């Protein structure tokens, strides 16, 4: 019976190691900026665990990484920043709301009743408010706002982008370590 339990533990450990979580990425584009500012667009990439995508919404706390590019216009010069920047942060105006991005073909529009796209992404002197669609460069004082006749699109890039560790994998390692230690102890007792 002990050998069966040991074999089952080892099998579960190997199964957990063989099925890591998958990260996925989506491109996000906000186009059609106010014409009196000379147009402009925000484009970027968001990444999250595949499991987070199952409900069709990537909430801001589910993001594993993000990157944004502002194309620039006559009101605010172009800039780029990402979650890799040391001062990068997401500010949530109302943390009681489920803020994020519609994905996988679900329509995504600004100023939704349920306040999706509400997050403010910031790093050092740059800030993008994706609910009210404000672009700020605090260092230069430049500011641009809004979509006139614009559109927002979100498209999946690659569901098999990379493997990311998950709790099951860690438990699998512990199970294999325990099984190995038990086997070693039995061998030493038999000698």
pTM of the model: 0.69
User: What whole-number distance in Å separates Cα of residue 163 and Cα of residue 54?
Assistant: 17
User: What whole-number distance in Å separates Cα of residue 110 and Cα of residue 100?
Assistant: 11
Convert the pLDDT of each residue in 101-136 to its tens digit.
888 777 666 656 555 666 899 998 999 988 778 899
- Please give the C-alpha separations between residue 71 and each of 29, 38, 149, 166, in angstroms, as whole numbers: 11, 11, 17, 36
Top pLDDT among 137 and 184 is at: 137
Q: Are strands 134-137 and 126-129 parallel, antiparallel or unpaired?
A: antiparallel
Q: What is the pLDDT of residue 1?
A: 54
* Residue 191 burial (10 A CB sphere; 0-12, 13-18, 19+): exposed
Any domain includes 2: no
What pLDDT band is residue 185 in, cutting at 50, 70 and 90? low
Residues in the chain: 191
What pLDDT band is residue 161 in, cutting at 50, 70 and 90? very low
Any domain includes 20: no
Q: Are 26 and 66 in contact (CB under 8 A)?
A: no
For the chain, the domain total comes to 1
Q: What is the pLDDT of residue 126?
A: 93
Residue with tokens 């919404």, as numbered in its chain: 57
Any domain includes 85: yes
Any domain includes 15: no
Q: What is the pLDDT of residue 162?
A: 46
Any domain includes 93: yes
Q: How many CB atoms lie within 10 A of CB 113?
A: 5
Q: What is the pLDDT of residue 180?
A: 55
Any domain includes 181: no
Any domain includes 158: yes
User: What whole-number distance in Å separates Cα of residue 1 and Cα of residue 6?
Assistant: 9
Convert the pLDDT of each residue in 83-92 to its tens digit.
999 999 998 7
Give the 3-state secondary structure of residue 1: coil
Least confident of 6-10, 60-64, 67-71: 6-10
What is the domain range of residue 82?
Answer: 25-174
- Please give the C-alpha separations between residue 139 and each of 104, 120, 126, 144, in angstroms, as whole numbers: 36, 17, 8, 14
Convert the pLDDT of each residue in 41-67 to its tens digit.
899 999 999 888 888 888 888 899 999
Phi then psi for 139, rounded to 5 degrees? -65, -40
Q: What is the pLDDT of residue 164?
A: 47
Any domain includes 14: no
């Amino acid at each position: 019976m002990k050998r069966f339990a040991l074999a089952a533990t080892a099998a579960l450990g190997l199964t957990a190691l063989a099925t890591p979580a998958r990260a996925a990425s989506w491109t996000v584009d906000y186009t059609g900026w106010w014409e009196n500012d000379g147009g402009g667009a925000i484009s970027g990439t968001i990444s999250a665990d595949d499991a987070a995508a199952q409900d069709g919404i990537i909430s801001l706390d589910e993001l594993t990484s993000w990157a944004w590019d502002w194309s620039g216009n006559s009101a605010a010069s172009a800039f780029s920043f990402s979650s890799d920047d040391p001062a990068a942060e997401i500010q949530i105006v109302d943390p009681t709301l489920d803020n994020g991005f519609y994905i996988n073909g679900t329509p995504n529009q600004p100023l939704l009743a349920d306040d999706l796209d509400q997050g403010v992404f910031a790093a050092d002197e740059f800030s993008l408010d994706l609910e009210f669609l404000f672009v700020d460069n605090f260092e230069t004082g430049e500011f641009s706002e809004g979509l006139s006749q614009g559109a927002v699109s979100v498209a999946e890039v690659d569901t098999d982008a990379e493997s990311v560790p998950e709790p099951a994998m860690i438990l699998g390692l512990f199970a294999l370590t325990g099984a190995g230690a038990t086997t070693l102890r039995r061998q030493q007792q038999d000698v």
